[in-house]
A and B are shown apart, each in its own frame.
Chain A
């Protein structure tokens, strides 16, 4: 027994230095994290944004207590971002020296009920980098700049109540103050400004009005899920806002977040030696019920089909087909004042190849997305190598291609970048 304790202490001592850890241990708190340095450059040489795409040092600390009565989780990043122009600390956008990722308490007030309250990362749905029913905030800026994929998910300040009756799992999320995406703004990534009809950068950052009244500008999300014979079925609902400022106010000229309801469903299961998934969602744009308001997106149906399978040992192939069908298209066309009309049916395909080598310590991954409508594409090759149990080296690129400047991916062409990172985990 004493030997086991001594052994535990020795391990803990190695994890995070000496004496203090044993105090944390006595309190039942584990302390872990990583340090990560990352640099990247843009290959385009545009003047709209800086030549460097990312240059930062990051320390993530995670304190966790798993008790019989409750679980406590605190996970925060301390960040030095050499390229950020705005160093002001903002808990909502994650800018400044600290990005609080998680701070929650999880407990079970009833046998069939879990409650998780506080800042948390929420995810559901079946897509790979494609989101239909997952209306939780994303950070596309972090993702496209070459930060780790975990930063694509931005945290929510929310109450999650999960119920586990016999027939299904029910997850209900209440967000008391709207959490928008950390959407692409001009300061780090150049993008198409439809008002100015050109690609803009840091000097023309967009003026946005965000719904932010506590307990009034709320979001509610619901999932009911059940696994039947290995097939995962789920139904979803959401009430809130478009997650990026997709509308505009003709009076003020500001970009706004129109109201949005979403409902949909998904299924995922084993098919022909692989995994197939299907998902759909109806986006009900509540501020433009007839589709004739040119300043607000129309309602849409969204569909996704995916398939993944291992082609050879440690080599996996996955593909997806995604379609977005605009409703009230005739009204949209009639109301469109000028500029370029979107297609009624827009779609794209994605492919992902993943290969593990050298005893699974070297991972090669390639993700590509191509849209025949927009004639644009996004390529994301990454290489990562586990140098040791603690050290991880990563390199990758974000490549944007397009024949036009105004399409979803074509607008980002000036942001094509390569990056490298080194991480020490403890």
Chain B
């Protein structure tokens, strides 16, 4: 038995280069690793927005996430700072396929669950350099993917939008870690092929076996602004209940946000 294994191993090693994943497998896996780790997840986020004059604004919030079927997800975002949005909550039901997300904002002073019209996903998230799409993930079907380069550490993927007039970039490059499949850097190029925006995972840790971004930076090179997200208290597979993502727990925030 042992001798047979010993014989097979070199063969397997030889076979590995041929088993390189296809570009579709790479982007699928990267999407899974960055947005769907575990059955559910939780993170505290401290977001620091730097303007072009060096002034800063800080947002603190807790995100709860629950995966559904076929890529559907629910998000609960509870704001802790700044003071004027404190204890507001943002609820998103993301569906499989093309269907628009359902989004609600909870306004505690009015005890009001306000429905938000579906918006352009390339709109700034809470005034930062991150976009809604950076937070909830861009639908893979919106771009064509091409493996531009394979380095020692990364797969470099060039993503070209199928409907270029709906977005502000002409293409973007993503560096995906060959080992963990976690995207480490994205560069966005405008219609003149000029780099104008970057999003980078600046610190990565393995938490409960899942490669996890614990610090990320988005920079708008034209405006001279940047936003840093520092993640703490990250947990996976908490066993979040589906009913947390309902009006009941908007009115009475769940203990998982504390």
Would B83 and A150 count as touching, CB distance under 8 A?
Answer: no
Return the chain A residue nearest B116 by Cβ.
A275
Interface flag for B4 (CB, 8 Å):
no
Q: How far is the CA of A68 from the CA of B256 in the complex (A)?
A: 11
Of listed B93, B119, B255, residue having the most chain A CB within 10 A: B119
Q: Is there an interface contact between A273 and B100, defined as CB atoms closer than 8 Å?
A: yes
Q: Are A359 and B51 in contact (CB under 8 A)?
A: yes
CB contact between B86 and one of A32, A309, A314, A316 (< 8 Å): that residue = A32
Task: Take A71-B252, A359-B51 as given contacts and tell me if A389 and B115 are in contact as well, using a CB distance cutoff of 8 Å.
Answer: no
Q: Which of B11-46 contact A (CB under 8 A)?
A: none
The one of A68, A122, A150 in contact with B109, judged by C-beta atoms closer than 8 angstroms, is: A150
- Which residues of B are found within 8 Å of A164, using beta-carbon distances? 243, 248
How many residue-residue contacts, CB under 8 A, span A and B? 102
* A93 CB to nearest chain B CB (Å): 19
User: Is B133 in the interface zone, CB < 8 Å from A?
Assistant: no
Q: Are A310 and B258 in contact (CB under 8 A)?
A: no
Is the Cβ of B111 less than 8 Å from the Cβ of A153?
A: yes
* B120 proximal to A (CB < 8 A): yes
Interface residues on B, range: 35 or more
Contact across chains for B248 and A114 when beta carbons are under 8 A apart: yes
Stretch at the interface among B121-129, B134-142, B144-152, B154-162: B121-129
B70 proximal to A (CB < 8 A): no
Provide the bound-state CA to CA distance between A157 and B246, in Å: 25
Q: Determine the distance from Cα of A388 to Cα of B49 in the docked complex, in whole angstroms.
A: 12
A-chain residues with CB within 8 Å of residue B247 when the two chains form the complex = 169, 225
* CB 8 Å contact bits of A385-411 with B (1 = contact, 0 = none): 010111010000000000000000000
Q: Is A121 an interface residue (CB 8 A)?
A: yes
Residues of B within 8 A of A150 (CB): 109-110
14 more A-B residue pairs beyond the given contacts A275-B117, A425-B82, A425-B86, with a C-beta to C-beta distance below 8 A = A32-B86, A66-B255, A68-B255, A106-B251, A123-B112, A227-B246, A230-B93, A273-B118, A275-B115, A310-B117, A359-B51, A360-B126, A425-B83, A426-B83
Please report A residues at the B interface, Cβ cutoff 8 Å: 15, 32, 34, 64, 66, 68, 71, 106, 108, 114, 116, 120-123, 149-150, 153, 162, 164, 169, 225, 227, 230, 232, 268, 270, 273-275, 277, 308-310, 312-314, 316, 318, 359-361, 386, 388-390, 392, 423, 425-426
